[in-house]
Structures are given as C-alpha cells and as structure tokens.
C-alpha cells in the first residue's frame, strides 16, 4: 500500500507506541494517591514535560484534551465566556478547519457576532481585512498555522499582533504544523495554540491546548483535572504517546523535513509534467513540506480516489472529516476555485515514513488514471 494521506492521520512512531504500551500497563488513576495512581501520575507528568519541552512552553500551561476538535471548542467557547464585558465578537479566517468554522456558525446562530475574513488566491489571509475586522468588541480571532488541505502557512505572528493591538485574544490551530515545521509556540504571539497527536506520530484520541500565561479561559466541564481547565480522567496511553511522539518528531525535524519536502517536490514536478493542465494550489505561498493540493481540470476527485484505492494508493480530496460530502471544499472555494475545479482536486500528503517508492508508485499510476477519468466524463 502507498499511503499519501498523512495530513489525515500519520502512522504512530515507535517511540509513541512504546509509551502507549507502558501506559496501558499502568492501570491506576492519575488522581489517586496510592502507588498505582502515583505510577500513572508519573507517566502523565513525563508526557507533559516531553510535550512542553518540544513546544518550548511551561508544563503548567499545557492542557491535555481528546484532540484538536475539543481543543478548539475549549479555546473558542472558553475565551468567549471569559472575555471582558462588551467583548463578544469572533473573527475567523475563511480557510479554518471545519471544527472551528462549524462552531463559529453554531455560535452565530445563537447570537455571537462572527466575521469571516477572506484569503487571496494562494490561500493566505488578507491582513488588511483582518485589521479592519478586529475591533474593540472582538473577543477572539482564529488563524490557523498551516492549512490542512493545501499546506499553506499563514502569517500568524502578524495576525497575533493585530489582535493584541485591538485587545483581543488569538487562537492558532497549529495541528498540521507542529512536528512538520519548526514551531516556536510562544513566538507565534498567540494566546491559545491547539494540536493533536495523530498528525505528528502519536495515536488518535489525544490532543493539547496551550494557554498562554495570564490568559483566562472558562472551563466547559466541572472537575479538578488539568488544573481545573479540562475535567475527566486523562487518556493516559494517548497522552503518553503524544509526549513521546512529539519529542521524536521535533528531534527528527532537521533531517525529516528536507527529506519529505524533496519527495513532495518530485511528486509535484512529475504530476505537472505528466498531466496536461494540472495546477498546484497555494503554489505561490510558503507551504508545509509534505502537502500537495493539485487540481486536475476535467477530472472528478472522488472517481480518482476510488481508482487510486484499487491501485493500492491512499489519498484524499481534502479534509478527512468532510469526505463523502457533495459540497466543494470551502478552502478551495475561498481561494477562488470553481465548484468543478474543487471537485477535480486531490490532496496528496507525505509524512515521516514516506519513501521514494511511494512517489514512484503515484507517478506511475495517477497520470493515466486522470486521463481515463477525463475521457469518461467527456
């Protein structure tokens, strides 16, 4: 099998699997004071230290969650609930992950003032429009670090400065960036940073939210865990894998990122040279090393995915959480692609286990498949 869907889930790293196995044998509750509980607490503390060291933050400021969706919900709802009187507004970019945009729509229906800021043709947020959108009534701005569909990197530091100047907080969804590019979390200038383990080599079901010192955040559930900010018995195996996986991913970055980028670039060049009319989305902006969003005009992405699967290649048409829907990608639509162009787009994402053979297989199989699908649709 050739796996080209690492932006959805990347395989767990050996260090993460070993850590999860150790945690599975530690059956005590980390909140218990007996020996079994202390053993579990030690593993929890170790994971927090590993993750915080990899991110360059203090352990006390890192809150473990079930993943990015929960981290985003805690950040957005918690920031709005804790905002000073008169600050009720929410500002989001048009290319945020569905877990943020769907929540924003839900809050808008309930009366929260929500503004959506556009992006340019490469998928980069328009900072001048963002500047105008953030006012003295804005409580929170949401600006992701790297787009999950195109890999385009956003100017988070500049967006954070705009939010801070207006007295608003900023949430950065760093899910796709952490472990793939160097990320200085405090240096982003954000107040809240979300991440999830399965994107960098942890296991599914564990994530984290960094809360900058001094930032008030109302908890969504009552309880004492995570310093009273996220209640519920901790998912110790998932958290242990998160800490070990993140530590391993960050340590490997100097070698891994250039290697993955070279594979992505070779795949990109090969497809552009072999498929007439193929276009890369976000080509003019900085992108993640392993993400390639490519449009094949006249083809159908879903048909291509089925054909690729039969050839042993796993890929996607966009965000995994929206696969199977008839609605074109909101990210590609925001970048100016037509519905037909968006439906003819594939996301091919490489990761830490990717090898030259994966690129060879894709370049051998995909170009003739595109021509077959195009011919069938003429």
User: What residues are annotated to the active site?
Assistant: 321
Task: Please state, in angstroms and rounded to a whole number, the distance separating the CA atoms of residues 136 and 173.
Answer: 23
Task: Please state, in angstroms and rounded to a whole number, the distance separating the CA atoms of residues 274 and 14.
Answer: 36
For residue 321 the two structure tokens come to 């959480």
Are residues 345 and 337 in contact, defined by beta-carbon separation less than 8 angstroms?
yes
Closest CA to 63 of 195, 169, 160, 185: 195
**Element (DSSP H or E) covering residue 291:** strand 291-295
Task: Please state, in angstroms and rounded to a whole number, the distance separating the CA atoms of residues 173 and 211.
Answer: 12
CB neighbours of residue 323 within 10 Å:
12
For residue 207 the two structure tokens come to 């994530």
Task: Please state, in angstroms and rounded to a whole number, the distance separating the CA atoms of residues 151 and 199.
Answer: 13
Helix axes 14-25, 236-274, angle to 10 degrees: 160
- 356 to each of 2, 292, 305, 361, how far by Cα in Å? 11, 16, 21, 9
Are residues 250 and 280 in contact, defined by beta-carbon separation less than 8 angstroms?
no
Question: Counting beta carbons within 10 angstroms of the beta carbon of residue 314, is it exposed (0 to 12), middle (13 to 18) or buried (19 or more)?
Answer: middle
Task: Please state, in angstroms and rounded to a whole number, the distance separating the CA atoms of residues 62 and 212.
Answer: 9
Are residues 117 and 134 in contact, defined by beta-carbon separation less than 8 angstroms?
no
Question: Counting beta carbons within 10 angstroms of the beta carbon of residue 214, is it exposed (0 to 12), middle (13 to 18) or buried (19 or more)?
Answer: exposed
Task: Please state, in angstroms and rounded to a whole number, the distance separating the CA atoms of residues 330 and 319.
Answer: 10
């Amino acid at each position: 099998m050739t796996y080209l869907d690492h932006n959805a889930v990347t395989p767990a790293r050996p260090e993460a699997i070993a850590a999860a196995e150790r945690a599975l044998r530690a059956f005590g509750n980390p909140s218990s004071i007996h020996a079994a509980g202390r053993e579990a607490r030690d593993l929890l503390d170790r994971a927090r230290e590993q993750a915080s060291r990899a991110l360059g933050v203090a352990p006390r400021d890192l809150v473990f969650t079930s993943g990015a969706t929960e981290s985003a919900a805690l950040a957005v709802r918690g920031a709005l609930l804790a905002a000073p009187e008169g600050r009720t507004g929410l500002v989001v970019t048009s290319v945020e992950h569905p877990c943020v945009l769907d929540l924003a729509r839900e809050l808008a229906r309930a009366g929260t003032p929500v503004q959506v800021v556009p992006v340019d043709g490469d998928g980069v947020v328009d900072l001048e429009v963002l500047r105008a959108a953030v006012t003295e009534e804005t409580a929170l701005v949401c600006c992701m670090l790297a787009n999950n569909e195109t890999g385009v990197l956003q100017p988070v530091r500049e967006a954070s400065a705009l939010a801070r100047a207006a007295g608003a907080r900023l949430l950065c969804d760093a899910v796709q960036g952490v472990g793939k590019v160097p990320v200085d979390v405090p240096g982003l200038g954000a107040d809240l940073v979300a991440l999830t383990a399965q994107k960098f080599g942890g296991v599914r079901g564990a994530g984290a939210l960094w809360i900058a010192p001094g930032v008030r955040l109302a908890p969504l559930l009552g309880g004492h865990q995570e310093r009273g900010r996220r209640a519920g018995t901790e998912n110790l195996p998932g958290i242990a894998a998160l800490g070990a996986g993140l530590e391993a991913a960050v340590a490997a970055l100097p070698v891994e990122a250039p290697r993955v980028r070279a594979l992505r670039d070779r795949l990109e060049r090969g497809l552009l040279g072999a498929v007439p009319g193929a276009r890369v989305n976000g080509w003019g902006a900085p992108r993640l090393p392993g993400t390639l969003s490519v449009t094949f005009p006249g083809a159908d992405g879903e048909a291509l995915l089925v054909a690729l699967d039969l050839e042993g290649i796993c890929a996607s048409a966009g965000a995994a959480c929206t696969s199977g829907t008839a609605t074109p990608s909101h990210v590609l639509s925001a970048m100016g692609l037509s519905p037909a162009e968006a439906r003819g787009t594939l996301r091919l994402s490489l990761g830490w286990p990717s090898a030259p053979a994966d690129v060879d297989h894709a370049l051998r199989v995909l170009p003739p498949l595109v021509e077959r699908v195009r011919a069938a649709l003429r």
